[in-house]
Structure 1
Amino acid sequence: MKLVVGFLFLLLSINTNAQKKAVEVVKIYKENIVYIHLKNNTDVNYSAELNIHSGYNYEKDKETPLLTVLAPKEQKLLVTVTRSTKKKSDFSTSFTYVVGNINAKHNDNYVYDLPYAKGSSFSVNQGYDGSFSHKGQNFLDFTMPINTPIHAIRDGIVIKVKKDSKKGCPTISCVDDGNYIWIEHDDGTIAEYVHLRYRGTALKLGNRVKKGQKIAFSGNTGFSQAPHLHMGVFINQVNGERITIPIKFNVDNTEAIELKKGDNYIKP
């Protein structure tokens, strides 16, 4: 009987941890005052928007919604609500969040490495504002065979990884099936490397990587018409949108340039 109870307790603990959100609201009550915090439960940066709405007979010390960036494991007080002591009082909260720093400022002087091994050469088959799937966005697609080693274009920390998919197809129905790595740089911008092969990386959340380090192997997962690497740098937004950034690469150790569709680039 003790073994059964212990096993059930273990299962309950596992399920509770699995359901824990990356960001959560924490309310601390002191008499008629409610101190409302947001807490980051992860080891990477998150950004969030908190709103207080509906309800009655209360006052808040700040107007909402409130945007904030939460460092790893940070709990931050965002707003204080004072409830009426003479009338029934109630209110509700809601919030949204995304991984990364919404206040990131790109260092436009930074020169990026090409995302493959030194001496290797690959062509760009879709550039910035590409008509197929990059319209209005600054992303790049490199044509490359499955199992091509992928290298980091800049130092950073791994903030998001997917590597369990074996599925890929040439229609939008497969868009969520692509394996990928997201790496946050020192200026808060994020690089994504997409369409990686099944189990194509050993990296985990919180791992630090160096510029030029081998991080993964290319594949053909997700929304993909043929094997390639999709990549780019962006700033995440809490509304689900991205600010994509046209970055420049070192292609000959003398000049940083923006890559163009149809051109082939050897990594120096």
Structure 2
Amino acid sequence: MTSAVNFPYYTVIAAQRRGEYLFSIKGGTNKRYAFKYQYEVIKGDPDRVYLNNYYLFPYKHGTKQKVTQGYNGDYSHQGKYAIDFDLDEGTEVTAIGNGVVVELREDSNLGGPYDEYLDDANYITIYQKDGTFAHYAHLKYNGALVEIGDKIEAGDIIAYSGNTGWSQGPHLHLEILEPVYMGLRTIPTSFLNYDGQIVRVKEGNYYYSTHYNRERFEVHLGEEIRDYDLENYLKKIDTDYTLTIRREEVDDTVIVYIRNAYPYDMEIELDLSKAINVSSSQELPYLTKVPANSEIYAILLRPEDNTKYWQYSIKCGYRRAKQ
């Protein structure tokens, strides 16, 4: 048998083409011939990838989420440029770029923290205008809001996040895949930040999503709070003869206030116990004086490494201040 092409034969067939001629095989003269063949199909065209400089974050405009696992993450991203965002179950997932839906699954209600659940995730894959594929995974059961073939624009709501597949808890898994010769590979990507800057995400950090031609919104990130932002805070309160600690959480930053509801000044000593992976904005033990019937700002607490577990307990000693 002879053929005008060499094997293995490789080609790219354009979208929505039917009856595409590939090659012909010619048998020997006056001889019987037979052949078997096998083939593999991979979506995409390696010669038609024009990577965007950036994408949108995959959640609603004006909201922020934490990156809980980044590129080559220890849990399930080894060797992959994939990102996990800490989305609660039922959170709206939005498209990061323009494209068309090419794959979808939403019939799974299985999930767990073991790799035996790897094939149980619900997902949507969108073939993007730049030639890449955006893959959104761990979606909610029956949580897709699109169908295969739907045209999508950046910022469109496409699904609800969930906890299906190999997952330790509700989140959204996102990866961008670039077509290569007979395969797909994950690639690092950049995103549009709230301030118009283009950023590469870092595991443990929080990021606001900003969409095109939408209203501006107030930004409040815990990592940007400093002592001098709060050092003049003082709130008058009624007398009830108690002294309490109040905590306010902004992302992974804890703002600690001291509330003195005595009708006289109090001397305070703050310290931590059972502390793991914790940093304080002030040297500990922290000594201060709280005026009568007042709440004041004390310290900031944060994890030393915001990708790891942290814990603490606050110890507070106090006595009436000397006049």
User: What TM-score do the two structures reach when normalised by structure 2?
Assistant: 0.62
Matches within 5 A, 1:47-196: 58-70=1-13, 71-107=15-51, 109-196=52-139
Write the distance in 1 (CA, Å) between the matches of 2:142 and 2:74: 30
Write the distance in 1 (CA, Å) between the matches of 2:170 and 2:163: 4
Write the distance in 1 (CA, Å) between the matches of 2:156 and 2:137: 17
Structure having the higher Rg: 2
Counterpart position of 1:27:
none
Per the TM alignment, residue 104 of structure 1 is displaced from its structure 2 partner at its CA by: 4.2
The change in CA–CA distance for 1:132 and 1:218 in structure 2 (over 3 A counts) is same
Residues 69, 102 of structure 1: 8 Å contact kept: no
| SS at structure 1 position matched to 2:178 | strand
Question: 1:235-257: CA deviations, max 9, x gaps?
Answer: 24675x53111110011242111
Residues 49, 179 of structure 2: 8 Å contact kept: no
Write the distance in 2 (CA, Å) between the matches of 1:145 and 1:119: 16
Write the distance in 2 (CA, Å) between the matches of 1:236 and 1:246: 14
- Give the AA of the match of 1:255: Q
| SS at structure 1 position matched to 2:117 | helix
Per the TM alignment, residue 125 of structure 1 is displaced from its structure 2 partner at its CA by: 0.7
Q: Does 1:262 align with 2:201?
A: no
Counterpart position of 1:7:
none
Asked which structure has the greater RCO (Cα within 8 Å, sep 6+), the reply is 1
Question: 1:178-234: CA deviations, max 9, x gaps?
Answer: 000000011220000000000101311110010000110000001111110000110
Per the TM alignment, residue 95 of structure 1 is displaced from its structure 2 partner at its CA by: 0.6
Per the TM alignment, residue 145 of structure 1 is displaced from its structure 2 partner at its CA by: 0.7
Residues 98, 237 of structure 1: 8 Å contact kept: no
| SS at structure 2 position matched to 1:254 | coil
Q: CA RMSD in A?
A: 1.6
| SS at structure 1 position matched to 2:12 | strand
The change in CA–CA distance for 1:111 and 1:131 in structure 2 (over 3 A counts) is same
Per the TM alignment, residue 102 of structure 1 is displaced from its structure 2 partner at its CA by: 4.4
Per the TM alignment, residue 267 of structure 1 is displaced from its structure 2 partner at its CA by: 1.5
5+ residue gaps, structure 2, are 211-323
Residues 145, 228 of structure 1: 8 Å contact kept: yes
Write the distance in 2 (CA, Å) between the matches of 1:237 and 1:69: 12
Residues 144, 160 of structure 2: 8 Å contact kept: yes
Residues 104, 189 of structure 1: 8 Å contact kept: no
| SS at structure 2 position matched to 1:96 | coil
| SS at structure 2 position matched to 1:175 | helix
| SS at structure 2 position matched to 1:176 | helix
The one of 130, 150, 174 equivalent to 1:207 is: 150
Counterpart position of 1:250:
192
Greater helix proportion: 1
Write the distance in 1 (CA, Å) between the matches of 2:168 and 2:73: 15
Write the distance in 1 (CA, Å) between the matches of 2:191 and 2:19: 38
Q: Identity percentage over the alignment?
A: 33
- Give the AA of the match of 2:37: T
Write the distance in 1 (CA, Å) between the matches of 2:18 and 2:64: 43
| SS at structure 1 position matched to 2:143 | coil
Residues 195, 219 of structure 1: 8 Å contact kept: yes
- Give the AA of the match of 1:220: N
Write the distance in 1 (CA, Å) between the matches of 2:200 and 2:55: 10
Aligned residues: 209
